[in-house]
Structure 1
Amino acid sequence: MPDHARIYIEEAEKYHLLISKQPLLHDVIEEVRPTTGLDIVDVGAGTGRLTAVLASKARSIIAIDESAGMLEVNAKRLKELGLGNWRTIVAEHRKLPLENASADLVVAGWTIAYLANDEVEDGEGNLNAAIAEMKRVLRPGGTIIIFETMGTGEKQPNPPAILKNYYKRLQEEYHFSYKWIRMDYTFENTEQAEELTRFFFGDALADRVKQEQLKTVPECAGVWWLHI
């Protein structure tokens, strides 16, 4: 598999091109928690997949990520939108540099899994710390929304085995509600589909894309939410 940590640091623009081929998520978030006038924190914000679609309605939004390179792309996009209600912070999920009870909504897209999967040391402890921090910065009545993969190249939910315990804990231990959605990638052509899937997902999926001449690559995602 490609080195995602290196990609996030060194190839943020190419990563953003990949995720730009997926549907926007504003309507999904609005169904859980209307965002107009809220103070929002985007944890693991990356290049702004969620930040950019939430900022226009938010009172304020803070994008937090460990990769300065990813946040540079995020900031560029927000500037191009002409918005001034945002800031970026280089930090990690388990120690958010924010005041207690300072936000109404915390979103985390495709990010906590890197800390909480079965292959990392103390994944359970990492998840405990990340959830505790998100709860700490929320005001009473605040909401957490988490997005994660339920299977790339899949038409029905089929998550990687190393993530199943993490997802189970969200629902059974932390009492998050859950649903799944389709987040298919729609590429310009098969060549782009092959190049970008090989770049981020590896040879197995890219070889399938080439063999089947796919321009649309199916993807399932999970949405978990908790009202505090």
Structure 2
Amino acid sequence: MADTWNAELYKTKHAFVFEYGNSLIGDWLQPQAGEQILDLGCGTGELTAQLAASGAQVTGIDASPAMIATARQTFPEGSFDVADATTFSLPQQFDAIFSNATLHWVREKEKAIARMYAQLKKGGRLVIEMGGKGNVDSILHTLNIVMQEKGYHYEPFWYFPSPGEYTTLLEQAGFKVERVHFFDRPTRLADPHTGIIDWLQMFGQHFFAGIPETDIQNILQQVQQELAPQITRNGELYADYVRLRVAAIKI
């Protein structure tokens, strides 16, 4: 798949993706100095750098060359590589694997889980956050309706599992699940006038493959116009994020 990530748009209007990951590090992972940690789906490297600040030895991987290029430029002292979650293979095993807002992009989830298991030391920790069942339903429902009205086929893309579904997959792979949190997290979009458009341009390019640019813009404008009144609170847009956090141990 072509790299469609806009690293600048990600950092300027969607920084909440990595900012919300701070508590996942401090409260769930609790990295220790000297540990070897893998940041799976590191994006532009902000959380990788935060992990490294704990004294851990951190490697960040991401499938997007654009994201890795930005991470290397912003954090030149860091260790970053382009790699796919379903096929990555690194020379060392890790004390912990950390992943924030990545695994819902990985539809071959069993392959990703198998790779994470293989790259952890025995007793190693897996700490993840991803979109859970119901995540951004309002955006996707409205997009579906608008695309059909304009004669285009909407094809679901992300993998947003229930807690039971994902923890079962982890257990089948050999993990012991220790902690689960499934929760609503209404997320403010940066621009109340174009926030839904910006969000779809950042994360939803795959929906528009093969559609003329003029039609794409018309779809985006209509989704923004129809959905914005429903998700506006105190003059701000809030996307209906649902998050799944899991901590597990390789046994």
- More deviation, 142-151/14-23: 14-23
Name the residue aligned to 2:152: none
- More deviation, 29-38/173-182: 173-182
Aligned 8 A contact 1:39 1:58 in 2: no
Please point out which of 89, 94, 97 is paired with 1:97: 89
Paired AA for residue 14 in structure 1 = L
Q: How does 1:79-94 map to 2 (within 5 A)?
A: 79=76, 84=77, 86-94=78-86
1:223: how far off? 0.8
Structure 1: any 5+ residue segments left out of the alignment? 117-125, 155-159
Name the residue aligned to 1:157: none
Q: Deviations 1:23-44 (Å, cap 9, x if unpaired)?
A: 4322223322311312211112
Paired AA for residue 236 in structure 2 = K
Aligned 8 A contact 1:198 1:205 in 2: no
Name the residue aligned to 2:42: 45
Name the residue aligned to 1:75: 72
TM-score w.r.t. structure 2 length?
0.67
TM-score w.r.t. structure 1 length?
0.73
Structure 2: any 5+ residue segments left out of the alignment? 139-155, 172-176, 205-219
Please point out which of 169, 173, 181 is paired with 2:169: 173
1:188: how far off? 4.8
Paired AA for residue 207 in structure 1 = Q
- Computed over aligned residues only, the root mean square deviation of the Cα atoms, in angstroms, reads 3.1
1:59: how far off? 1.9
Q: For residues 149 and 24 of structure 1, what CA distance do their matches in structure 2 show?
A: 13
Q: Deviations 1:46-91 (Å, cap 9, x if unpaired)?
A: 2225323322114211111121111112223324xxxx3x211111
Match of 2:54, SS? coil
1:92: how far off? 1.1
Give the fraction of aligned pairs with identical amino acids, expressed as a percent. 18
Name the residue aligned to 1:119: none
Q: How does 1:57-206 map to 2 (within 5 A)?
A: 57-79=54-76, 84=77, 86-101=78-93, 103-116=94-107, 126-150=108-132, 151-152=135-136, 163=159, 168-175=164-171, 176=177, 177-200=179-202, 203=220, 206=224
Q: For residues 184 and 2 of structure 2, what CA distance do their matches in structure 1 show?
A: 25
Matched, 1:215 2:236: yes
Name the residue aligned to 2:30: 34
